[in-house]
Structure 1
Amino acid sequence: MIVAVDAVGGDHFPENPVKGGLEALAERADLNLVFVGPEKLIQDELEQSEIDFDSNRVDILHADQIVTMDDSASSVLKDKQNSSISVGLKHHRAGQCDAFVSAGHTGALLAASTVLLGKIEGVIRPTIGALYPTVKGVRLLVDAGANLELKPEMYYQFGLMGSIFTEQILGVENPKIGLVNVGEEPEKGTDLLKDSYKILAQFDNFIGNIEGKDILSGKADVFLTDGLTGNVILKFGESIPGILRELFKKHISELEISEDVQKQMFTVLTKAMHTFDYEHVGGIPFLGVNGISFVGHGGSSPFAIRSMILNASNCIENGVNEKIKASLN
């Protein structure tokens, strides 16, 4: 399989995308990479790398324009057709790679993925699914920011696509779908949520409404919500580890505890917060586009890039899009 990597996406390019890519390459013998971006910049980074790699499994696809966070999504498609995002997605559309991953501009990548790759036949609107930590392990939150307003039919399709991804990639058998709402009763929430509840009831694995308190406890495996609420939940979750560490430091300094015990306590806290760290999930997929396109956090470390590439590889290997197409027909 071949995964194209945006070598100039994110805050720390090309170092992190290249290093993360080479780390992923070492994980899978069946993986080949195409780094997309300015050729000399990428070549120089590869030559400086301390990671041994098989050059026959690595290619460079030249793209001389770089998308910045100041660029609007529409301007990237119009004015930056030679950007790493546009060139990489066109490479994917042409069948010359099996997936494209980037830690760059989320809005630009979603817009370009939708326009250049198109939608899977029958899909109303593509969506972003975020891998979210729970006490039962990582689960899927969808929509995580792509669609601020939904229709009942979109909730239904997101539940369908989310279930397939959760089962095939996260390994959760018959994943439970929960609709994020202000109460558990079917009559709770807005008219939209009430109508969505009715259409979601067609799923055997729909468990009904869930509240905010049910997310971290893992009451469901697929948390359905609109993009505005989903993005707030996602960003809130990302803030938890840092806040807890600050509170931990503040209160532990007030107690007379030996340095060795403090180190042990911090070790326990770090392990407990492990599943909240975005680096271990790497990136999130755009479900519903006619291809495999992943976006990662702008500050992605090499480990996060590695994780994103491996997640994309799993989507290829498990035929996620083929299963989505089959379920819609």
Structure 2
Amino acid sequence: MIVAVDAAGGDHYPKAPVEGALLAVQEDESLTVLLLGPKDLIKKELEGKEYDEKRVLIQDAPQIIGMEESPAAAVKGKQQSSIVIGMGLHKAGKCDAFVSAGNTGALLAASTFILGKLEGILRPTIGAYYPTVKGFRLLLDAGANLEVKPEVALQFAKMGQVYCRNIIGVESPTVGLLNVGEEDEKGTEELKAIHKHIKDLPGFIGNVEGKDILSGKADVYLTDGLVGNILLKFGESIPATIMKLVERAVSKLDLEVEEIVAAQKILKTALAPFNYERVGGVPFLGVNGVSIVGHGGSSPLAIKNMIKSAVSCIENDVNGKIVSSLN
């Protein structure tokens, strides 16, 4: 299995993607990684590191797509970038998946334009892992589609269930539609139309509210990309905010060193479910390939887990099961 890794993507390239790729091949002896980016930059990062040159390959991609660049313009104008070349190689069957912590919009555009959509898919979607008291669950859509039509929402729900069942390990995934109330008639006309269209989907539990997310009332939280992206960014801010509040409280209390250490240990353990590094990234569901996107600040550990996610999607034939779920 060959997984292409964007060595020129994210806030910490090439160090994080290169080190993450090396961690991945160390753990999985059947895996080969293909590092894409400016060749000299990658080779310099690999200097002094031990690795098997037959399992850690390099593909020169001299152009770099910045995190703030316009997605469509970047993909069109930078044909020699790691994202465009990587997607082209994946399309041609030269690698089995592509992972990146780079420009999410550019990755979505390249995934859609180059890989195309799975048979029967109206629109691809990007999900996000959301921590709950039951473990990570899936939020769809997390920013790719700011408006979602009922027939598209139904496909998102089905794709989310396939992903939860095969990757997260939830045997019978439930779907909740994020709304301002639990009653069927609540919400905008668009939300009412979506509810009516997906109400017969096995596993659909109806409307859920914001208070139901962290408690894990559903396994797939269905919403449009506007609300989903706001929730995603809000969730990312929770750990740091809690840490600041605790630090402020500790400074006001006359605590012994042992008490401070114990409090820090408890807090670190409690906030572990919010650590994105544990899952690394999520795929663009609905594209005809395996394209995984991660947080821009991804560490080597996060990159390694992104690669593992790609391997899991391939081994569990997530795309084949998505197509089957549409019938």
1:246 is matched with: 244
2:28 is matched with: 28
1:201 is matched with: 199
Matched to 1:183, the amino acid is: G
2:6 is matched with: 6
Give the superposition deviation at 1:58.
1.3
Contact 2:131 2:274 (C-alpha < 8 Å) held by counterparts = yes
1:309 is matched with: 307
Superposed counterparts of 1:270-289, under 5 Å: 270-289=268-287
Give the superposition deviation at 1:44.
1.8
1:38 is matched with: 38
Contact 2:6 2:35 (C-alpha < 8 Å) held by counterparts = yes
Q: Is the counterpart of residue 92 in structure 1 residue 93 in structure 2?
A: no
How far, CA to CA, are the matches of 2:297 and 2:289 in structure 1?
Answer: 25
Give the superposition deviation at 1:54.
2.2
How far, CA to CA, are the matches of 1:259 and 1:279 in structure 2?
Answer: 29
Give the superposition deviation at 1:254.
1.4
2:224 is matched with: 226
2:47 is matched with: 47
Matched to 2:22, the amino acid is: L
Matched to 1:143, the amino acid is: D
Matched to 2:36, the amino acid is: V
Give the superposition deviation at 1:150.
0.6
2:293 is matched with: 295
Which of 157, 160, 168 is equivalent to 1:159?
A: 157
Give the superposition deviation at 1:47.
2.1
Give the superposition deviation at 1:48.
3.0
Q: CA RMSD in A?
A: 0.9
How far, CA to CA, are the matches of 2:256 and 2:51 in structure 1?
Answer: 45
How far, CA to CA, are the matches of 1:27 and 1:162 in structure 2?
Answer: 28
Q: Which moved more, 1:191-200 or 1:149-158?
A: 191-200
How far, CA to CA, are the matches of 1:250 and 1:45 in structure 2?
Answer: 40
Matched to 2:128, the amino acid is: A
Give the superposition deviation at 1:191.
1.1
Matched to 2:317, the amino acid is: G
Which of 236, 253, 256 is equivalent to 1:255?
A: 253
Q: Deviations over 1:216-241 (max 9, x none)?
A: 00000000000010011111111000
Contact 2:177 2:221 (C-alpha < 8 Å) held by counterparts = yes
Please give the TM-score of this superposition, normalised by the length of structure 2. Answer: 0.98
Give the superposition deviation at 1:179.
0.4
How far, CA to CA, are the matches of 1:249 and 1:201 in structure 2?
Answer: 46
Please give the TM-score of this superposition, normalised by the length of structure 1. Answer: 0.98
Give the superposition deviation at 1:183.
0.3
Matched to 2:139, the amino acid is: L
Give the superposition deviation at 1:69.
2.2
Unaligned runs of 5+ in 1: none
What is the DSSP-based 3-state SS (H/G/I as helix, E as strand, rest coil) of the residue aligned with 1:36?
strand
Q: Deviations over 1:220-272 (max 9, x none)?
A: 00000000100111111110000000000111221121011111111110110
Matched to 2:89, the amino acid is: H
2:18 is matched with: 18
How far, CA to CA, are the matches of 1:316 and 1:21 in structure 2?
Answer: 17
What is the DSSP-based 3-state SS (H/G/I as helix, E as strand, rest coil) of the residue aligned with 2:40?
helix
Q: Which moved more, 1:143-152 or 1:53-62?
A: 53-62
2:148 is matched with: 150
